[in-house]
Amino acid sequence: MIGTGYVGLVSGVCFADIGNQVICVDKDKNKIDKLNSGISPIYEPGLYELIKKNFTAKRLSFTSNIDRAINTSDIIFICVGTPTKKGSINVDLSFVYKCTKEILKYSKRKKIIVTKSTVPVGTGDEIEKILKKKKKLFTVISNPEFLREGEAIRDFRYPDRIVVGSNEKKPLNIMRKLYAPITNKGSKFFTTSRRGAELIKYASNAFLATKITFINELANLCERSGVNVEDISLGMGSDSRIGGRFLRAGPAYGGSCFPKDTKGLVSVAEKYKINLSVVKSVIKSNQERVNLLTKRVHKILGSNLKNKKISFLGVTFKPNTDDMRDSTSLKMIPYLCKKGAVVNYYDPSGHKKEFKKIKNCFFKRDIKSNCLKADLIILLTEWDEFKSLNFRSITKNKKVKVYDLRNLYNNDEMKKDNLEYYSIGRS
Ligand SMILES: NC(=O)c1ccc[n+]([C@@H]2O[C@H](COP(=O)([O-])OP(=O)(O)OC[C@H]3O[C@@H](n4cnc5c(N)ncnc54)[C@H](O)[C@@H]3O)[C@@H](O)[C@H]2O)c1
């Protein structure tokens, strides 16, 4: 596995757990040192235990020596990042191409190269071009990853489908064998062309982002028209053609995938002179959502935020992960601090380097000290430990207001406690 991030590490550990010999390689020596001394560099439920089990059983090893990793492997998974290029919507493929060049340099015998990273349609062809000097040694196929952070191990073991794209038959059979312990439990093994697999991944993420954005916009209408958005989600979602998942209104979608993949898809389409107008408006609507939420904070606390005490419960883009990439908190907190508010935050995954340099922003080690004397508590991430809080006892301010961006709490119960309570898409 080249790249020991959320995808490479989880996939590597899970492949080892079903009996394969796995070497995880990363150019970040610090990550490898941590892993070799038994520390997981990321927070993912259940991951640490699996690392320990498979490392001890000698099925799993970690190295920054890419030469050794490449030479001892039959199948090489590329799991490096594919971020958005700075200042554009294009996909930055430099990490993918750099490790392809390393594979070319160090390979001495036949290998299957599998792109697990999310890459634009046609990237496999570009990888082949880089490898053409030793082209007989390589088969390049695509096997995009669909795991979700926070549920990654379960998703790897019980995926809805495994997508493998190849222009040749033989590597498909090898992949079928590799995934047999998973498909034997009922997961679908779906094969297509290499380009097809590359596009399926972007299409899936763009569609899910569209669903979230759709319900977020409807939530705005619900607030104005006196309707409960949860009823809309249930009523719509019960239609099997629509499905209820990804229809929960909340903050803007974030994380390491949806924001970059929606942009990536639009940029690839533009290369082919195709206008993906739906996806474009999803991106725009999502960007505007953060402004809408901060405007709401002004409505709740007034236009002058100077010295107002605002406490965030959760700052990661979703629970059970430490990932901060494109979280709504990255825009809301700096804005509120700039307006003079004093912002405390508590997140079960710990303090965040992203807020270190922001004046008036403080990490608190527990819920109580975070919320003490707050004027406004903003629930941003629905971690389990926030699910049954007694706001009256955690803050000494009788006039505390609560803004629940995940509709975690019940309107009537909050009213019973005499709390000024705001949520999403409820009248
Ligand atoms: N994070 C997710 O939930 C998720 C889910 C599905 C697909 N993906 C896709 O998987 C890919 C990886 O995502 P991630 O979140 O795991 O990224 P990440 O940033 O967490 O990890 C990438 C790792 O690759 C390493 N790396 C980069 N270049 C390298 C090289 N030449 N040699 C060795 N190591 C190198 C980096 O040091 C880093 O540790 C992306 O394309 C992403 O879109 C991510």
Q: Across the beta sheet with 401-404, what order do the strands follow?
A: 361-363, 342-346, 309-313, 376-379, 401-404, 420-422
**Model pLDDT for residues 109-129, shown as the tens digit of each residue:** 999 999 999 999 999 999 999
The mean pLDDT value for 149-159 works out to 96
22 pocket-lining for ligand 1 (C-beta < 6 Å): no
Give the pair of three-digit tokens for residue 264: 């990536």
Cβ-contact 78, 97 below 8 angstroms: no
262 pocket-lining for ligand 1 (C-beta < 6 Å): no
DSSP 239-299: STTT-STT----S---TTTHHHHHHHHHHHHHHTT---HHHHHHHHHHHHHHHHHHHHHHH
> What's residue 137's pLDDT?
96
Closest residue by Cα to atom 24, ligand 1, is 3
> What's residue 395's pLDDT?
86
User: Which of 11, 80, 119 for a ligand 1 pocket mutation test, highest count of atoms within 8 Å of Cβ?
Assistant: 80
Q: If we measure between CA atoms, which residue out of 422, 427, 394, 389 comes closest to residue 406?
A: 422
Pick the atom of ligand 1 nearest to 144's CA.
Answer: 7
**Domain residue extents for the chain:** 6-192, 202-284, 290-422
In the numeric block, the tokens 């999803």 are attached to 282
> What's residue 396's pLDDT?
82
What does the alpha-carbon distance between residue 345 and residue 277 come to, in Å, rounded to a whole number? 37
What does the alpha-carbon distance between residue 342 and residue 237 come to, in Å, rounded to a whole number? 40
**Model pLDDT for residues 216-232, shown as the tens digit of each residue:** 999 999 999 999 999 99
- Secondary structure element (H or E) that encloses residue 56, with its range: helix 47-56
Whether CATH 3.20.20.370 fits 290-422: no
pLDDT at 400 over 90: yes
pLDDT at 22 over 90: yes
257 is known as an active-site residue: yes
Q: Report how far ligand 1's centroid is from the alpha carbon of 367 (Å).
A: 32
81 pocket-lining for ligand 1 (C-beta < 6 Å): yes
Amino acid, res. 409? Y
**Confidence band for 388, pLDDT divided at 50, 70 and 90:** very high
Mean pLDDT of the chain: 96
pLDDT at 427 over 90: no
Catalytic residue among 14, 24, 79, 257: 257
pLDDT at 397 over 90: no
User: Which of 2, 4, 7 for a ligand 1 pocket mutation test, highest count of atoms within 8 Å of Cβ?
Assistant: 7
> What's residue 21's pLDDT?
98
Paired with 61 in beta bridges are 23
Q: Assess whether the region 202-284 and the region 290-422 belong to the same CATH fold.
A: no
pLDDT at 392 over 90: no
The mean pLDDT value for 295-317 works out to 97
- CATH fold of 202-284 reads N-(1-d-carboxylethyl)-l-norvaline Dehydrogenase; domain 2 (1.10.1040)
pLDDT at 307 over 90: yes
Q: Report how far ligand 1's centroid is from the alpha carbon of 284 (Å).
A: 26
11 pocket-lining for ligand 1 (C-beta < 6 Å): no
pLDDT at 241 over 90: yes
Say whether 327 sits in a helix, a strand or coil: coil
Q: Report how far ligand 1's centroid is from the alpha carbon of 30 (Å).
A: 15
pLDDT at 417 over 90: no
Say whether 230 sits in a helix, a strand or coil: helix
The mean pLDDT value for 49-54 works out to 97
Pick the atom of ligand 1 nearest to 148's CA.
Answer: 3
The mean pLDDT value for 46-53 works out to 96
CATH architecture of 6-192: 3-Layer(aba) Sandwich (3.40)
Q: Report how far ligand 1's centroid is from the alpha carbon of 99 (Å).
A: 12
Q: Report how far ligand 1's centroid is from the alpha carbon of 116 (Å).
A: 9
Pick the atom of ligand 1 nearest to 80's CA.
Answer: 24
Say whether 326 sits in a helix, a strand or coil: coil
pLDDT at 193 over 90: yes
What does the alpha-carbon distance between residue 113 and residue 119 come to, in Å, rounded to a whole number? 14
Q: Report how far ligand 1's centroid is from the alpha carbon of 351 (Å).
A: 22
403 backbone dihedrals φ, ψ, rounded to 5°: -115, 110
pLDDT at 50 over 90: yes
Say whether 170 sits in a helix, a strand or coil: helix
> In degrees to the nearest 10, what's the CA dihedral of 373, 377, 383, 389?
60
Cβ-contact 146, 204 below 8 angstroms: yes
The mean pLDDT value for 79-108 works out to 97
> What's residue 123's pLDDT?
98
> What's residue 387's pLDDT?
96
> What's residue 159's pLDDT?
97
* Max Cα distance, the chain (Å): 73
Give Cβ neighbours of residue 398 (< 8 Å, ≥ 6 apart): none
Closest residue by Cα to atom 44, ligand 1, is 7
63 pocket-lining for ligand 1 (C-beta < 6 Å): no
Closest residue by Cα to atom 4, ligand 1, is 7
What does the alpha-carbon distance between residue 409 and residue 391 come to, in Å, rounded to a whole number? 11
What does the alpha-carbon distance between residue 354 and residue 77 come to, in Å, rounded to a whole number? 30
> What's residue 398's pLDDT?
84
